[in-house]
Amino acid sequence: MNRMKKNKQKKKVASLDALEQINLNAAGIDIGAEEIYVAIPQGRDENSVRCFATFTADLRNCADWLAACGIETVALESTGVYWIPLFEILESRGFEVYLVNARHVKNVSGRKSDVLDCQWLQQLHTYGLLQASFRPPEDICALRSLVRHREMLVKYRANHIQHMQKALQLMNLKLTNVLSDITGKTGLQIIRAIVAGERNPVVLAQFRDRRCKKSEADIIKSLEGHYKREHLFALQQAVEMYDFYGQQICACDEELEKLYQEFEPPTQSGTPPPAPQKTKRRKNQPHFDLSQALYRLTGVDLTQVDGLNALTVQNILSEIGTDMSKWPTVKHFASWLRLAPNNKVTGGKVKQRGTLPTQNRANTALRLGAQSLARSDSALGAFYRRIRAKHGAPVAITATAHKLARIIYFMLKRKEPYRDPGAASYDQQYKQRVIRNLQRRAAKLGMRLEPIPAG
């Protein structure tokens, strides 16, 4: 009965205006590697479509021509990285630039074969049918470029770790069987000694760190191999490349630290600054106190949230920025991250559930943070385990990442600290919520719940 009443409820009716020209001074640009095509409204120039080369002087000539034609807003597709120079030039000249998703443009049907892409963009933008993609401020874009570059360096350095492992295996040096990480203190000292010319397993085993779980005898046995000149040469070059990328990562960290110092500290801070870093730096961690730098950027300590370390927070902030006013509500923010459910409803029935696929780096960072909460003694950890037990790990990761995104949104918007109630408190609240739901259902059936007496 209640379901029937629910289905009979009146649906919200949105007011739809007929198509009208909203952006009268709009232009559309189709970008390529060697040339761009620019379309403007009819009557502004002898040719409503012009072609420009992609050299910097030609891009400036394009901006001059658009200004002379009275253009105020420009729409262009995000084609590779070719759009970035033109976007920056047009934005510096005062144009309102719409960076649109090519997939969204193609979904609007009606284009004929003899209409150029730039004309189609100009027409859609004139009628207000295009939505600009999110692009953070210029300072955050600079931070994002360095963060992505650092991730690339870490990835390249990891490739040379595999090259070292391959060279060791080809010489039957089973160092990977006794060491969990050959780039640790023990592993690197042994490998550097091998490259330097040492072959005696007993001498090499003396580089064993006292914290190593394997005994010296096990390491000696693993280092009895068949040394060959070509494999030693490959091992030497892999070590040199590993060290080289390590130096590049240090240089990148120095540039990141300088960039963080250029940010003005926020006037309103919601949490006290994090304690200075005293623990030993772990592998791939920055060579400066990143937590302090992130606090200077945001005014809140996001590393207080369980599952979010400094590197994860840096990856997220470099993608979303610090200004949450770009998203009207937290639901818009979760939807942009592709962490909100995209349920397709037809005739009152849900035909498809789940979130949409995405390559958003902030989405990936939040999912990794959610996955790390599997054994956390926190409210978020208890939430993850409850959802995992009911729906499985993939759904639990998405739901927990969604919750992390909501926490970040409100911490940045309200400048409020995060307080973890704990796993026990969360379990107790969940138990009380289940009891209230059962009592409500029992009351509808004319029954009453009674607790079992203790004893």
Instruction: Look at residue 4 in the predicted model and tell me its pLDDT.
Output: 47
3-state helix, strand, coil in the chain (%, to 5): 55, 5, 40
Instruction: Look at residue 108 in the predicted model and tell me its pLDDT.
Output: 66
pLDDT band at 23 (very low <50, low <70, confident <90, very high): confident
- Each residue's pLDDT tens digit, 369-391: 999 999 999 999 999 999 999 99
- pLDDT at residue 14 tops 70: no
73-77 and 26-31 beta bridge pairing: parallel
Rounded distance, CA 30 to CA 326, Å? 27
* Mean pLDDT within 110-126: 78
- pLDDT at residue 73 tops 60: yes
Across 45-54, 106-115, 155-164, 256-265, least confident range: 106-115
* Mean pLDDT within 405-416: 93
Instruction: Look at residue 105 in the predicted model and tell me its pLDDT.
Output: 74
Rounded distance, CA 93 to CA 87, Å? 10
Kindly state the percentage of the chain with pLDDT values over 70: 92
- Residue linked to tokens 């046995």: 221
* Contact in structure between 300 and 412 (CB atoms under 8 Å): yes
Kindly state the percentage of the chain with pLDDT values over 90: 57
- When the pLDDT of each residue in the chain is averaged and rounded to a whole number, the result is 88
Segment 31-35 long-range contacts (CB within 8 Å, at least 24 positions apart): 31/76, 31/77, 31/79, 31/82, 31/83, 31/86, 32/79, 32/82, 33/80, 33/82
Q: What's the length of the chain?
A: 455
- Each residue's pLDDT tens digit, 232-243: 999 999 999 999
CATH number for the region 26-126 comes to 3.30.420.10
Instruction: Look at residue 15 in the predicted model and tell me its pLDDT.
Output: 47
- pLDDT at residue 244 tops 50: yes
Q: Find the distance separating the first CA and the last CA of the chain, reported in whole Å.
A: 41
